[in-house]
A and B are shown apart, each in its own frame.
Chain A
Amino acid sequence: AKPLKASESALSTDEKLTSEDDITSYNNFYEFGLGKGDPKSRSGKFEPTPWTISVDGMVAKPREFGVDDLLAFPLEERIYRMRCVEAWSMVIPWTGFPLSALLDKVEPLGSARYVAFETVVRPDQMPGQSGYFQSIDWPYVEGLRLDEARHPLTILALGLYGKTLPSQNGAPVRLVVPWKYGFKGIKSIVRITLTDKQPPTSWNILAPHEYGFFANVNPAVDHPRWSQASEIRIGESGFFGANRRPTLPFNGYGADVADLYAGMDLEANF
């Protein structure tokens, strides 16, 4: 991990940070395995450099970005709450830059309505992608509406805790959308495509009744198998007095993002 310089952001929360150890050892990254510890313990072979992201589709100037191109954007530290769909949460100091800055470079066409994302496929480096049992039809894909993608809170993260991302957290570059469940934050991105149709998303394909396209954090809409009304903050809830805290609509970012969904039925569009 290389140190990264970044400026502070008014969009950061001042909540207590989750420890670096918890953030880097309690992960869902099925490319490396289904267990929470797998991404850390089974990502040793993964090579996040060299790396290129191609940005294509409905854009005036399709192009590729290397890691150095990404690091050249003005980096900010963004301390965000991260709410996993599994009802646990963390507070993570990301280093990154707004996705909109990247989109500006490629000049999306007026017809573009959505942004599709794709994770790398490297069975030789990612044990969850090889072998007899395959959990997901690779590559992992995600998507946002263009206005969501352009929202100032939406960032591409290149680091956490002031250093480049560890492999288990989605090196070298991942998406962070803090008002949505964590699985929207697609990791190790190799392709970003602007499109006019709602793109398919991996979890929605796998279990459409459990994971919607929007996946906005919403305490009022339960996951079919558990309540989303409360959450456990990783590292803070001890064994006794497990302080479940109430989950906030849009993960507490409602004042910034609720307008994006004005007039939408959030129970139908979960």
Chain B
Amino acid sequence: MAGFPAALSPRLRKASIWMLYLLGLLPAAWGFWLGATGRLPGNPVKEFEHLLGLWALRFLIATLAVTPLRDLSGINLLRYRRALGLLAFWYVLMHFTTYMVLDQFLNVAAIVEDITRRPFITIGMAGLLMLVPLALTSNNWSIRKLGSRWGKLHRLVYVAAAAGALHYAMSVKIVGPQQWIYIAIIALLLAWRPLRPYFNARKRRRRPPEKPA
């Protein structure tokens, strides 16, 4: 399946991945700049915290969308998946750090109480912890070293994404359209995994292999 991005030269491909990291961090940088210069209205720390959480979910969704997109449309963004996943991890980490430092002001007792006694925070924290080993093994060396165990380990992202959606929905006073949209998208992306083998088998049956030229 040729086409974008396989058509890019190796150098351009590498540059495009770095561009993705750069672009991906822009919302955080922009939000931080608005907050630090007093341009976020109302409750600036909460605004920033929520912005980071939402972008974490968006990058998790983008990461999980790579496979179904390839199955359904043939567009292969596999090369960008590591960057998308790591961006999701960085956003989750910034979200938690903002809560810890700017929101709770490092009040350790309050933070521990939140994590242990409030289910939505417990679930969010569990999601963060699940992403840590994935981020640590998101490099070529780990992929070689872990072999087939790498794929098994990285299935944890499914649980982490579900935890993220749940954490978001449980954090609000009324589960509104925005929360339902995130829940629905993540549910669909997760549901695709068990359906995938059947879909791809049918696709192969319908389309006989091309004859070599």
B-binding residues in A (CB < 8 A)? 22, 25-26, 30, 34, 36-37, 86, 88, 132-133, 135-136, 206-207, 210, 224-227, 229-230, 232, 234-235, 237-242, 244
Contact = CB atoms under 8 A, between A and B. Distances in A.
A26 B110 contact: no
Given A22-B42, A239-B40, A133 B177 contact: yes
Interface residues of B, number: 30
Given A88-B43, A227-B114, A239 B174 contact: no
Given A225-B121, A242-B45, 11 more contacts: A25-B41, A34-B176, A227-B114, A232-B43, A232-B45, A237-B44, A238-B38, A238-B44, A239-B40, A239-B44, A244-B104
Contact of A22 (B41, B105, B121): B41
Interface string B97-109: 0000011110100
Contact of A34 (B35, B102, B113, B174): B174
Contact of A26 (B42, B48, B113, B178): B42
A33 to B, nearest CB: 9
Contacts of B121: 225
A83 to B, nearest CB: 14
Contacts of B172: 34
Interface of B: 35-36, 38, 40-46, 48, 102-105, 107, 110, 113-114, 118, 120-121, 170-174, 176-178
A17 to B, nearest CB: 16
A225 B119 CA distance: 8
A242 B40 CA distance: 14
A25 to B, nearest CB: 6
B107 to A, nearest CB: 8
Given A36-B42, A240-B36, A242-B45, A30 B102 contact: no
